[in-house]
Structure 1
Amino acid sequence: MNVQTNARSGGRAARRAARAAALPDNLRPVRPGLEGGQYKPLSDADVARIHDAALTALETIGLADAPPSGVEILTGAGAVQGEDGRIRFPRAVVEDALAKANRAVVLHSRDARHDLDLSGTRVHYGTAGAAVHLVEVDGQHYRDSTVQDLHDAARIVDQLDNVHFCQRPMVCRDIPDNLEMDYNSVYACVSGTTKHIGTSFTDPAFVAPTIEMLHEIAGGEAAWRERPFVSNTNCFVVPPMKFATESCLVMEECIRHGMPVLLLSAGMAGATAPSTIAGAITQAVAECLGGLVYVNAIAPGHPAVFGTWPFGLDLRTGAMTGGSGEQALLSAGCAQMHAFYDLPGGAAAGIADSKLPDMQAGWETMCSNVMAGLSGLNMVYEAAGMHASLLGFCHESLILGDDVIGQALRCVRGIEVNDETLALDQIAAVCMGGPGHYLGTEQTLGRMQSDHCYPTYGNRMSPKEWVEMEKPDLLATATARKEAILSQRPAAALDPRIDRVIRDRFNIHLTV
């Protein structure tokens, strides 16, 4: 009797050990780059009409306020500057840019395991934004965000399986000098995570100094250009249909230095973009097609992300509605347009209008994250941590967002139908002379790790067990995880020799 019990116990222990061991990437239930595209809110005819309308807008309305260098670049590519100063784009010019565009973009990281393949409808989730506040759950308090907060966010991202990149989510409000703020933002992120980084620049003159720092980290200019692990988030347009002059100059400078660019059009539906979902998507597509011409006229095939980011608006109040169903549809529709052009694309999802990590934040975050993933959006920006319609960022929400994104990715993975998953042999064995249930069968145990995505922080206890475990609180669990991560030296910390060189050259605000 004891022998049998020990055998069963040993088998159970072995199974538990197997479940605790990390699965190879190809067997994980969710992982970066799962292919979406199952959800298509637009019909083929709708997509064709939006494309035609965008081309008409570029040809007849065009974009205003290009810098002199941009006028030269764009007219050299065949665009036409009218007497009103607007740059208009004949259809052939747009088609030529589409033919030259890079469709095989890989966003590199300092650790090649985290490289992001943006081909097809492969889906990746990450942070983004320019929140000016940190949300402190202890006391439900908003305060100015700092460079330390940004660094801590990057360190947390580095430890989260389902957050695949770290575009700067907060502004360093404790650094008043814009040049220092720009390069410190990059330093704070790069020294916190080896995943791909996204950042912006406030002035074109600030690009070159930051690039010098990145050359040092990469091991030289050639190594940087071969694997640029930081991209430029570039709001090159001020909707509706105007170039952002300074940002265009930043973009030109980044391209010269081999930095990938995110062409970001962020119209507000009902304010700076049409209030209809179709109209907001059309304008964003037109603006980003104009940006695509710009990029490929400077450097054909330069890595660029087609960043249609139209945002929803509450027309009763004029407040942004990042957590709305309309926002989810805007981003999903944009993903369809990216797929139509076969271009690497990105849009926003996962934003909460709620001020705190509560039930409202949960439904808002999940709604758009799932729809963005199902639509095959390559880069899902602002997917975790964002509150108050992008004004606040919360470390605990970033951690909890890892669970949200895990479930969203499981939806993206979908349902596999084959002889094994149809399970006819199992059904026969269980029903004819078997135990009458599937608990503990070899097939159930064999697939429980590869088929199912289990929450890390979400609580699936019974009420009885929950009471016995002293009623664990979700936010307290997230805070404990945050403190555990931040108590350790970051795995992405720079080599001390390189860090010393950088600190001798730059005024780095983070303490060692």
Structure 2
Amino acid sequence: MDENLASEHEAAGGRRARADRGGGAAARRAARSGGGPGVQQPYINRKIKVYEVLDEEGLALIEKNADTVLEEVGIIFRDDEEALKLWKDAGADVRGERVHFPKGLCRSLLTTAPETFTQHARNPERSVQIGGKATVFAPVYGPPFVRDLDGNRRYATIEDFRNFVKLSYLAPSMHHSGGTVCEPVDIPVNKRHLDMVFAHMRYSDKPFMGSVTAPERAEDTVAMAKILFGEKFVDENTVIINLINANSPMVFDETMLGAAKVYARNNQATIITPFILAGAMSPVTVAGTLTQILAEVLAGASFTQLIRPGAPVLFGTFASSISMQSGAPTFGTPEPSLVSYGAAQLARRLKLPFRTGGSLCGSKIADAQAAYESANTLNSTLLCGANFVLHAAGWLEGGLVSGYEKFIMDADQLGMQQRFAEGVDLSENGQAMDAIREVGPGSHYLGCAHTQANFQTAFYRSTIADNNSYEQWLAEGEKRADQRANELCRRWLDSYEAPFLDPGIEEGLKDFIAEKKGSMPDAFT
């Protein structure tokens, strides 16, 4: 059975590849645009240098301070006797629930963690590298509300969830299906994870994230992955990546620890992410925040290696500043960008893949504030060298809202980032010496042979921006960017066609879900 499922995994990829090869026009559109439902762009292989803000002295200082925090202050592992025993057996000083780490213990454990790994998708052509020079964009994660295409802010439903999975599948520069793209509150809390994981498996063939809201829900995710990929394939390969948040400052709770143990034992990836609102959950300074982040990541990431040496783990961070007047989180400001740059350097020194950033904003709608704040966050995300980018599209209102229009606008920007990451073309064609010779002084390049040969793909073509004349813009209805995004989003959803999934596998997944749901009463808290 397992071997048959693994063979089907390969066969599905072949069918999809043959279908893709027929889309020449779509391929040309995708080559010059990051926003249309066409041939998918591969994950980014950055050809540009990373930007670094800390020198050797600064990095060494923060590492020294983090070691001091781990040894003197310690990290709480709450309500998890197994975790405390593992740390004690590993040589840590365990005092109640607080673990104090001898200098070098965490780093020595992390030597077994892979520097890069592949997250396999059910369509092998959609598999992604995590680490190295790779950057993978994944959509918004976690909001309980949506801002829909009729302008309403309301609680999210499973239909919204499926729509965002479909949009992520269609977006050429979105490399990943994500996880909790919104929280479908119309399904019981104890059962919705089944529908969410199934939606990623059925409505997309890109890699996806698992449930972490309870250890048993993580177990369900792994069980469903084994139905989809085959048990042996899952044990030997990474097919799920999962978000494990530290309860900052310096606490890992039983829920996150339980999920982390499930995924690490099954060789699935975890992103150990301190969730930081600086000034409330970390010091107000960049250096102080980096120190705490490093300490928390060292403790959490090394714990996964106690569970299963070699299990893939990422150095994650989510860092925001806050308004010192209201306490509300703020985005697109300089300090979180400096944290991202510094944390990326620290991750590279640990030889761990790095997660940060996205298209973050505090705005309630897809307006100028949303655009500026998202652009500021996204630019530093790419330039710091992030390997996995959660919240790359769709984030509004400080993470409370998944926005349809915002998703489309962000996806356009992701295409621009993808093109920017390609760097400067220094090939013979890129040098364009034949064009310079042909045109000579005083003429123009519009009609020369080099321009004619390259015009279709020479410049990124935005799906959202209006660069026509004022008169044409007026004649076409004076549409704002968010209105154009609204129309494009509707066209995308209307054009959606589900990728092939073997009927036997789909039936197996549905049977598993039905059995699990039938085994417990509904719970909405």
TM-score, reference length from structure 1: 0.87
In 1, Cα distance between the equivalents of 2:472 and 2:495? 31
For residues 349 and 455 of structure 2, the distance between their equivalents in structure 1, rounded to whole angstroms, comes to 36
Return the alpha-carbon distance in structure 2 between the equivalents of residues 243 and 330 of structure 1.
Answer: 21
| Structure 2 counterpart SS, 1:297 | helix
Equivalent pair of 2:301/2:314 in contact (CA under 8 Å): no
1:104-119 to 2 correspondences below 5 Å: 104-119=116-131
Structure 1 runs, 4 residues or longer, greater than 6 Å off: 24-30
Residues 505 and 271 of structure 1: CA distance in aligned 2, closer, same or farther (over 3 Å): same
Q: Distance in 1 between matches of 2:57 and 2:30?
A: 38
Contact persistence 2:332–2:360 (CA under 8 A)? yes
In structure 2, do the counterparts of structure 1 residues 487 and 428 end up closer, same or farther at CA, with 3 Å as the change threshold?
closer
Distance 2:384 2:316 in 1: 15
Change in CA separation of 1:135 and 1:26 when aligned onto 2, cut-off 3 Å: closer
1:177 maps to 2:189: yes
Q: Deviation digits for residues 8-39 of structure 1, max 9, x if unmatched?
A: xxxxxxxxxx9956259999997522325432
Q: Distance in 2 between matches of 1:451 and 1:100?
A: 44
Q: Does 1:163 align with 2:170?
A: no
Deviation at 1:111, TM superposition (A): 1.5
Q: Is the 8 A contact 1:33 1:116 kept in 2?
A: no
Which residue identity is paired with 2:188?
A: P
Choose the corresponding residue for 1:78, options 76, 85, 91: 91
CA displacement at 1:137 relative to structure 2? 4.5
Confirm or deny that 1:410 pairs with 2:422. Answer: no
Match of 2:14 in 1: none
Residue 208 of structure 2 aligns to a residue whose secondary structure is strand
Q: Secondary structure at the match of 2:104?
A: helix
Task: Write the distance in 1 (CA, Å) between the matches of 2:291 and 2:445.
Answer: 51
Structure 1 residues 278 and 412, CA gap change in structure 2 (3 angstroms): farther
* 1:227-282 C-alpha deviation (Å, 9 max, x unpaired): 443222112x2111112122101211122233221112112100011111221122
Per-residue CA deviation, residues 20-77 of structure 1 (Å, 9 max, x unaligned), is 5625999999752232543222233222222222222112212013411111222222
When the two structures are aligned, how many residues end up with a matched partner?
Answer: 485
Counterpart contact for 2:53–2:341, Cα < 8 Å = yes
Query: Displacement of 1:204 after TM fit?
Result: 1.2
Q: Distance in 2 between matches of 1:466 and 1:19?
A: 30
Match in the other structure for 1:22: 27
Report if aligned partners of 2:106, 2:299 keep a CA contact under 8 Å in 1.
yes
SS in 2 for 1:191: helix
Is the alpha carbon distance of 1:115 and 1:290 closer, same or farther for their aligned partners in structure 2, counting shifts above 3 Å? same
What secondary structure, in the 3-state scheme, does the structure 2 residue paired with 1:248 have? Answer: helix
Aligned match of 1:192: 203
1:416 deviates by 4.0
Secondary structure of the residue that 2:54 maps to in structure 1? coil
Shift of residue 468, structure 1, vs aligned partner: 3.9
Runs of at least 5 residues in structure 1 that lack an aligned partner in the other structure: 1-17
Match of 2:242 among 228, 232, 236: 232
What percent identity do the matched residue pairs reach? 25
Alignment partners' CA distance in 2, 1:451 and 1:54: 47
One-letter code of the match for 2:371?
A: G
Could you list the runs of 5+ residues in structure 2 that have no partner in the other structure? 1-22, 35-40, 518-525
Contact 1:374/1:411 (8 A) holds in 2: no
Q: 1:481 Cα shift?
A: 2.7
Distance in 1 (CA, whole Å) between partners of 2:279 and 2:338 is: 15
In structure 2, the partner of 1:55 is 67
- Root-mean-square deviation (CA, aligned residues, Å) is 2.7
1:126-145 superposed matches below 5 A: 126-138=138-150, 140-145=151-156
CA, structure 1 residues 202+28, in 2 after alignment: closer, same or farther (shift >3 Å)?
A: closer
Deviation at residue 311 of structure 1 after TM alignment: 2.2
Which of 83, 87, 106 is the matching residue for 2:99? Answer: 87
Q: Structure 1 residue 466 and structure 2 residue 473: aligned?
A: yes
Q: Do the aligned partners of 1:277 and 1:330 also contact (CA within 8 Å) in 2?
A: yes
Q: How far has the Cα of 1:466 moved from its partner?
A: 2.1
User: Per-residue deviation at 1:153?
Assistant: 0.2
Contact 2:118 2:130 (C-alpha < 8 Å) held by counterparts = yes
Alpha-carbon spacing, 1:417–1:190, altered in 2? closer, same or farther (3 Å): same
Letter of the structure 1 residue corresponding to residue 146 of structure 2: L
